Amino acid sequence: MKKYVIGITGASGSIYAKRLIEEIAAQGHKIYLIISKPGRRVWGDELEIELGEERREIAENIRHSLGYDKDDETITYLDNENIGAPTASGSFQTEGMVVVPCSMSTLSGIAHGLSSNLLERSADVILKEKRELILVPRETPLNAIHLENMLKLANLGVDILPPMPGFYNKPESIDDLINFVVGRILDRLGIEHNLYKRWS
């Protein structure tokens, strides 16, 4: 069993995060989940799943929405304000982190090393420990500030993976488009999957 950190922000695209969590958890891996307050709101708006405000309530609702018992330990929810959580320390071993979807605000905070909350601090830890960090920015159009921040992070070895689906595999549904993007994230994490047909 491997451990992964997943951050969810207030950008549109909660379905990418939900599908990614489902795929990683289904393969028996442990997930440490951090959701910003705007991320919780967008999750509720887009997926019609209200998470609540209290830590225990959020944790139980997240697990329930993904088909897990409320006490299941596959998914551990971490409060974004809890800077003392395990993922805030480099001594806590994980395989890597994905921020999906990633808002431009969070991307900027990571690019400038702000560590103003647990999500940003966890990403900073991943960077300093030279582990896999994947950001899935969901914004369009992009301005020069967005692009400069992405370039800065790319030069530090961060994977910038915009949710841009391929069409060579002839997608027939929204699910196909979502699966392509999630599959590409899993590729970067080195996790095998059958979410899309590979080019041959």
| Residues β-bridged to residue 4 | 31, 96
Q: Burial of 171 by CB count in 10 Å (0-12 exposed, 13-18 middle, 19+ buried)? A: middle
* Residue located via tokens 């018992």: 69
Please give the tally of structural domains in the chain.
1
The reply to whether 199 falls in a domain is no
* The amino acid at 48: E
What is the per-residue pLDDT for 71? 83
Q: Which residues pair with 162 in a beta bridge?
A: none
Instruction: Give the residue ranges of the annotated binding site.
Output: 10-12, 36, 103-106, 138, 168, 184
Distance CA(125)–CA(96), nearest Å, equals: 10
The overall average pLDDT reported for the chain is: 97
Annotated binding residues for FMN: 10-12, 36, 103-106, 138
> Domain holding 36: CATH number?
3.40.50.1950
In percent, the amount of the chain with pLDDT more than 90 equals: 94
Question: Range of 27's domain?
Answer: 3-189
Known binding-site positions for dimethylallyl phosphate: 168, 184
Task: Average the pLDDT over 25-41 and give the result.
Answer: 97
Task: Judge whether 128 lies within some domain.
Answer: yes
List, for residues 76-94, the tens digit of each pLDDT value: 999 999 999 999 999 999 9
CA-based diameter of the chain, in Å?
A: 48
Band the pLDDT of 70: cuts 50, 70, 90: confident
Residue 200: which pLDDT band, with cuts at 50, 70 and 90? Answer: confident
Residue 141 lies in a domain: yes
- Asked whether residue 197 is assigned to any structural domain, the reply reads no
> pLDDT tens for residues 85-133?
999 999 999 999 999 999 999 999 999 999 999 999 999 999 999 999 9
CA–CA separation, 2 vs 91, rounded Å? 15
Mean pLDDT on 159-179 = 96
The answer as to whether 157 is a domain residue is yes
Kindly state whether residue 115 falls inside one of the protein's structural domains: yes
Q: What is the pLDDT of residue 4?
A: 99
Where in 60-181 does DSSP place strands (E)?
Answer: 75-78, 96-102, 132-137, 159-160
* Secondary-structure percent of the chain, ordered helix, strand, coil, rounded to 5: 40, 15, 40
Can you give the pLDDT at residue 63? Answer: 94
- The predicted pLDDT at position 151 comes to 99
pLDDT the model gives residue 157: 98
